Structure 1
Amino acid sequence: MEAQLQFFKVFTDNPTKGNPAACALLSHWPDLDVLQAIASEAEQVVTAFIVPVADALYQYQIRWFSCSQEINLCGHGTLAAAALVRQLQGEGCYQFLSQHGDLEVTASFSALQMVLPQWLPCPETQTELPPALLACQSIDYFQTRDLVLVLADEQAVQQFQPDFTLIQQLEQHALIVSAFSPPDTYVLRYFAPGIGINEDIATGSAQCSLAPYWFKKTGRTEFKVRQLSLIDACFSVAINTQQLHLKAQAVNLPHLTRLIATIA
């Protein structure tokens, strides 16, 4: 089986900015080692693979891979998949089904809007911070899938010095540091060395933890989001008691498209 591997920049409409991702539409699932080999060779932050659901025009199964392993619930990989489907089928509301939850993306030519789950803090599983993280003087912390440190302000987030060896030893999926920047913005950085991503450029799934927290703290229902990585990327989120919506854009990099061969 042959397929096209296409490349995108997500959380931007500028091909020189945003978070890189690759995506391939397959007719069926090859073996795990085949998918991992393709993702490793692609050398992107994440590579998404989608397979159409039989007799369902707007539904796809989806899986996400870093260069080193399969990962779960990747927002920016899903947006890349939605951009690919938009390119092939046009505007529509598409569902992406995975073992870690289902995501829905409304794809128009002007924007991609994704519905995300809300992850609330788990106080019953709260653990003490390692001493090295206590030293960073967070004003709050909580855990969902990820461990979140709330810092005093944007400058503290920008100046945070990650210890990747320590972070890799955490039991949580990743470490997020965040702060509120009045009047309507929260900032973050996202570290996931355990899945081969030391610091992510822009992270959709981080908003599952952060948007509910900042909604509770500020009462705001709409936020601008800035991830303080080395490459500019921007998006917005809107939240209510039922749903969380992330709005962004993605741009295709057609000159990078390549054919891939998978085992039949």
Structure 2
Amino acid sequence: MTSLPIYQIDAFSQQAFAGNPAAVVPLQQWLADEVMQNIASENNLAETVFFVPEDDGFYIRWFTPVREVKLCGHATLAAAYVLFEYLGFSEPEIKFQSLSGLLTVKQDNQRLTLNFPAQPPEPQHCPEALVQGLGKTPLACLANEDWIAVFDSEADILAIEPNHSELQKLDKRGVIATAPSDKYDFVARFFSPKYGIPEDPVTGSAYTQLMPYWTERLGKKSLYAKQLSSRGGELWCELIGDRVTIAGYAATYLIGEINI
């Protein structure tokens, strides 16, 4: 039997029971893919993140309950929080290699700042499954890793009652619904039933697509965003060339041990 440490961190929140929970499993060497997927399925959180030491940093991988993904923001923030808070990492910046290239995380007082590649979305015709899945025709649709549906107001986003069977028909990872806001620069919700995530509480990687759109529309590079899930989460974002920085807080919910 092998024992592994596990941490459950609530990312993009200053306290437990808010933000997006991620399981963090530090490794010295990789487990079999099947084992990591089984751990993620057992955890049944939006993401379980694994990382191993590599060169001057780490290699990082993310698993939903049903499959591996190429990029995940909140679980990367959670992994960095564990390294800084519990595993004695003392350098000012963590370097993670991943399926999406180099990702970095810096500490800024109590906040952590992710540096990810930007993924500018392109305008698209709105698929019928997206319209049926969200229950309303968006003002505009765009796409990159996910479908992006732009609505008129925060009230439109809050009113969405997704039809997951329709959203599962779409060809992307998930659907981001977004709109301008009076209190924030913009708001969003994220649905990914195809990946076993009916609604993700806070989706860091979505903002690599949202920031190129909203910075152009609003005419400024630094934006304050809110994800309007039931748990909720706040993000401070900036577009810097072909990179996006995404900053937020994290809180510990659980520290334990896996026996496999």
TM-score (norm 2): 0.92
**Percent same amino acid among aligned pairs?**
30
Aligned counterparts of 1:236 and 1:257: Cα–Cα separation in 2: 27
Change (3 A) 1:21 1:131: closer
1:193 maps to: 193
2:74 maps to: 76
RMSD of aligned Cα (Å): 1.8
188-197 vs 94-103, greater mean Cα deviation: 94-103
User: Equivalences for 1:54-65 in 2 at 5 Å?
Assistant: 54=55, 56=56, 59-65=57-63
2:37 maps to: 36
Give SS of 2:78's match: helix
1:145-194 deviations in Å (ceiling 9; x for gaps): 10001001110111122110111110011001100114751000100001
Structure 1 residue 67 and structure 2 residue 65: aligned? Answer: yes
Structure 1 residue 12 and structure 2 residue 10: aligned? Answer: no
Aligned counterparts of 1:32 and 1:204: Cα–Cα separation in 2: 24
Give SS of 2:211's match: helix
Aligned counterparts of 1:22 and 1:109: Cα–Cα separation in 2: 23
1:163 maps to: 163
Change (3 A) 1:141 1:128: closer
Give SS of 1:155's match: helix
Deviation at 1:94, TM superposition (A): 0.5
2:234 maps to: 234
Which residues of structure 2 form unaligned runs of 5+? Answer: none
Q: Is the 8 A contact 1:8 1:22 kept in 2?
A: yes
Which residues of structure 1 form unaligned runs of 5+? Answer: none
Give SS of 1:136's match: coil
User: Equivalences for 1:5-154 in 2 at 5 Å?
Assistant: 5-54=6-55, 56=56, 59-87=57-85, 88=87, 89-90=89-90, 92-123=92-123, 126-130=124-128, 133=131, 136-154=136-154
| Residue identity in the other structure for 2:22 | A
TM-score (norm 1): 0.90
Q: Is the 8 A contact 1:120 1:212 kept in 2?
A: yes
Name the count of aligned residue pairs: 255
1:43-77 deviations in Å (ceiling 9; x for gaps): 222110000004x2xx1111111122212200001
Deviation at 1:114, TM superposition (A): 0.6
